[in-house]
Chain A
Amino acid sequence: MYPPDVVALQNVSLKIEPGEFVSIVGQSGAGKTTMAKLLIADERPSTGRIMVGGWDITRIPSRDIPQLRRQIGVVFQDYKLLSQKTVYENVAFALEVAGESGKRIREIVPQVLKIVGLEAQKDRFPKQLSGGEKQRVVIARSLVHAPKVLLADEPTGNLDTLNTRDIMDLLLKINQFGTTIVLVTHNREVVNALRRRVITISNGNIVSDVAQGKYILSV
């Protein structure tokens, strides 16, 4: 929630094509996270229109938000794992809330845990995992609904170089399967290494949108 006289984003107009890997970059407070929050209806725009896969979510009713969030996989910097649940339960939870049957959950969860390489850690609780492992759990959880879009908000913010590379490799692998990746980051090395579309935000405005861009340091 922002004070009334604060403008987090303005004159933002962009379209992300299916299967794209887009990095949204900018300094702290530029408006990156606000853009991510708008995509999952965690914030509402005061004006304008937001479409996700043909669904107008600009004024989405509260009761429809769970449905939207089951269609967009979200990865957070601070993981946002349920500390009282095991790795398996955290991943399964995203399916349970959608009313999936137990049989289906028992099929899907081991598959996604295998993709992220956490089969051996399935009975551990989040506090028993490293940062990189926690982020893998979050990615696994975001994949269970086979989303068309995966939104990763600073997914490597709390990770060391080695884990950062592993997580980025995982996101690229997921993108290769056809999932659109929206990466919100201020990590220059990560963005420059990707050589994908880069949208740069500064003071709530899009200042550049380059197909094979780099992190613009001076902005």
Chain B
Amino acid sequence: MITLWRIFKYSWKNVFRNAWLGLATVFVFMMALLSVNVLLGVNVLLENTIQALEQKIDVTVTFKKATPVEVINQARFFLTSLPQVAGIKVITAEEALANFKARHADRDPKVISALNELSGNPLGAQLVIKAKDVSDYPFLLQTIQNPQYASFIQDRTYDDHQLAIAWIQDAGRKARIFGAILVAIFAFFGALIAFNAIRVAVYTQREEITIMRLVGASSFFIRGPFILEGIWLALFSFILSFALLIGVSAWLDNVLPPLFDSVRVGSFLLTFFREQWPTIVFVEGVGMFGLVALVSWAAVGKYIKR
């Protein structure tokens, strides 16, 4: 017990007596953790943005003017029953006209005056379809093209949006893969940087290790303070990097405008780190402390001559 207490005590003394080296090590650890966490945040933010874009996508099917209401309702019920459909909104011919007028009231007065000269409503009713997944749209449009409804359909917006939908789908998929690879690479380099920082810290004290051995210290007694010292430094860097991350996220919340009228970058990151901190702390903590302990153990062992 007394030995464990002394190991604990010496680890703290080492931290304070090697303050500059410790500070440099903490800084390196902090950079490694920050790069991984910032990338993690950016990756999640990107994914969220892609999702927000995907949610903005819908497909509008415009029926011919003379289409009976029963056919439109039937099409709506049919589509609602499909598992790929997230929601359907019916826009009557009158609502479609009102929307059209509202949209062009200020920008195109000539269009509005031409419309007023027409007798009656030239627009048909519309079905606005929202799929659960972007990849479901081609299937849904294929489905509604069946002979029961095809003759009533005048137009659909999917053809206009097809390229944009494909781009978003592709960008989302690539962003997820690229983000995961980038996080893995940064985690690897972070570990490598931490690994070398410890080796340098131990190297600077190699003479001390040899002396401890010569005066009769056991390997455990020599290694213990180094391992604990490394763990304290990792703990400091852990706390500092998270404090910095939260501080910067809060600052971004005030500075950056919301993305797509809804996603506030800072708030989003804060929420993400607040909700995910147990997982992040566990994974990074186990990784960092495990790495520090193993590297310290091995690095000190190199200088324990017999």
A-side contacts of B207, CB under 8 Å: 83
Q: Does A97 contact B221, Cβ atoms closer than 8 Å? A: yes
Q: Does B214 contact A99, Cβ atoms closer than 8 Å? A: no
Q: Does A42 contact B218, Cβ atoms closer than 8 Å? A: no
Q: How far is the CB of A85 from chain B (nearest CB, A)?
A: 8
Nearest CB in chain A to that of B18: its residue:
A84
Tell me the bound Cα distance from A76 to B215 in angstroms: 11
Q: A41-B306, A42-B305, A65-B306 are known contacts. Are A83 and B208 too (CB-CB below 8 A)?
A: yes
Interface members, chain A 59-87 (any B CB < 8 Å)? 62-63, 65-70, 74, 76, 80-84
0/1 string, A20-50, CB within 8 A of B gives 1: 0000000000000000000011100000000
Q: How far is the CB of A6 from chain B (nearest CB, A)?
A: 19
Which residue of A42, A67, A80, A102 contacts B216 across the interface (Cβ within 8 Å)?
A67
Nearest CB in chain A to that of B211: its residue:
A80
Q: Does A81 contact B217, Cβ atoms closer than 8 Å? A: no
Q: Is A98's beta carbon under 8 Å from chain B?
A: yes
Which residue of A74, A83, A97 contacts B218 across the interface (Cβ within 8 Å)?
A97
A-side contacts of B214, CB under 8 Å: 40, 42, 69, 74, 76, 80
Q: Is B65's beta carbon under 8 Å from chain A?
A: no
Q: Does A66 contact B216, Cβ atoms closer than 8 Å? A: yes
Tell me the bound Cα distance from A97 to B224 in angstroms: 12
Q: How far is the CB of A70 from chain B (nearest CB, A)?
A: 4
Tell me the bound Cα distance from A63 to B306 in angstroms: 9
B-side contacts of A98, CB under 8 Å: 216
Interface members, chain B 57-111 (any A CB < 8 Å)? none
Q: How far is the CB of B221 from chain A (nearest CB, A)?
A: 5
Q: A82-B208, A84-B14, A84-B17 are known contacts. Are A97 and B215 too (CB-CB below 8 A)?
A: yes
Q: How far is the CB of B118 from chain A (nearest CB, A)?
A: 93
B-side contacts of A82, CB under 8 Å: 208, 211-212
Tell me the bound Cα distance from A67 to B219 in angstroms: 12
Q: Is A13's beta carbon under 8 Å from chain B?
A: no
Q: How far is the CB of A93 from chain B (nearest CB, A)?
A: 6
Nearest CB in chain B to that of A142: its residue:
B215
Q: How far is the CB of A59 from chain B (nearest CB, A)?
A: 12
B-side contacts of A69, CB under 8 Å: 213-216
Q: Is A94's beta carbon under 8 Å from chain B?
A: yes
Interface members, chain A 93-136 (any B CB < 8 Å)? 93-94, 96-99, 101-102
Q: How far is the CB of A83 from chain B (nearest CB, A)?
A: 7
Tell me the bound Cα distance from A42 to B219 in angstroms: 15
0/1 string, B276-306, CB within 8 A of A gives 1: 0000000000000000000000000000011
- Some 22 contacts from A to B, beta carbons below 8 A apart, are A40-B214, A42-B214, A42-B306, A62-B306, A65-B213, A66-B213, A66-B216, A66-B217, A70-B216, A74-B215, A80-B210, A83-B208, A84-B14, A84-B18, A84-B205, A93-B215, A94-B215, A94-B216, A96-B6, A99-B2, A99-B3, A101-B2
Top 10 closest pairs, chain A to chain B, by CB: A69-B216, A97-B217, A70-B216, A66-B216, A80-B211, A84-B17, A94-B215, A66-B218, A97-B216, A97-B221
Q: 20 extra interchain contacts, Cβ-Cβ under 8 A, other than A42-B305, A98-B216? A: A62-B306, A65-B306, A66-B216, A66-B217, A66-B218, A67-B216, A74-B215, A80-B210, A80-B211, A80-B214, A81-B211, A84-B17, A84-B18, A84-B205, A84-B208, A93-B215, A94-B215, A99-B3, A102-B2, A141-B215
